[in-house]
Amino acid sequence: MNVTAVVVSVVVALVAHASGATIPQVGELLETNYHEVAGIPAAARIKCGEEAQDFDGARIVGGSAAGVGAYPHLGGLVITLTTGATSVCGSSLLSTTRAVTAAHCWRDSRNQARQFTVVLGSTRLFSGGVRHNTNTVAVHSGYNVHTLLNDVAMITLPSVSYTNAIQPINLPSGSLASSNFAGTWAQAAGFGRTSDNAGISNNQFLSHVSLQVITNAVCQQTFGNTVAASTLCTSGAGGRSTCSGDSGGPLSINSGGQRVLVSATSGVLTLSRCRTRAAV
């Protein structure tokens, strides 16, 4: 059985955020206690690896290192929780003052964030790049922490200055706005897990991977009726997927020479075995 990554459509989510509509999406398959199960351990691994210059493998599965400027829309999130613990997620820059992420990065079933540090223009999460602190986060009004229904949030930033390494990503328009993207190859990028136990010794900590979008009908063969119309699925063939630490980060395509955001990672089904389990 192919590994499958399931991500919530940002296009639908953003429209629903504005209209107040409800977005059905994956529920019981998801790990809803993200920060304790994934984010906090990932933050510790990434920070330790950066300090030691010998990263121990907590990023996108089956991918490769990405250079500065390869994904200029990606914003790493260093998250300070109300407990004082540190967690991590990803986000996508939409404008000089807005970024989008998963709502569970701000609030999951057991933890609430106090502050996001949005890291732009960097291949490292705990050092380098342009760093903006904010606690202005608008969670979708219909977000459900137990089912991850409407798992999307908007981040308000101080004004961001664009550079070659910091640029906004486009949202789908025209025919792309109604596309299901089935058969399209998309790129996921993030600071999360790359494998269950593989070590990485280079100094590039941002990773990326190409994933093929599949139809929801194919996805339902694995996930059943938890796959709704607003869910977007990608094949994990070849051991490629998003994983712990990648939540909220972008899945994008190239269209007409421009990068277009099609989805954001909503959650992870099983965090300890990312090659053999599904991410959502």
In DSSP terms, 156 is beta-bridged to 98
Residues 6+ away with beta carbon under 8 Å from 206: 65, 66, 70, 71, 74, 76, 122, 123, 124, 189, 190, 191
104 counts as catalytic: yes
Query: Can you tell me the distance from the alpha carbon of 235 to that of 238, in angstroms, rounded to the nearest whole number?
Result: 9
Whose structure tokens read 């280079």? 202
Q: Which of 17, 35, 73, 104 is labelled catalytic?
A: 104
Query: Can you tell me the distance from the alpha carbon of 126 to that of 218, in angstroms, rounded to the nearest whole number?
Result: 38
Q: Which of 87, 247, 252, 266 is labelled catalytic?
A: 247
Q: Which of 17, 73, 122, 151 is labelled catalytic?
A: 151
- Using CB atoms within 10 Å of the CB of residue 201, give its burial: 0 to 12 exposed, 13 to 18 middle, 19+ buried: exposed
DSSP annotation of 224: G
Residues 6+ away with beta carbon under 8 Å from 95: 168
CB 112 within 8 A of CB 124: no
DSSP, collapsed to helix, strand or coil, labels residue 38 as: helix
246 counts as catalytic: no
Whose structure tokens read 């007409």? 256
Q: Which residues are catalytic?
A: 104, 151, 247
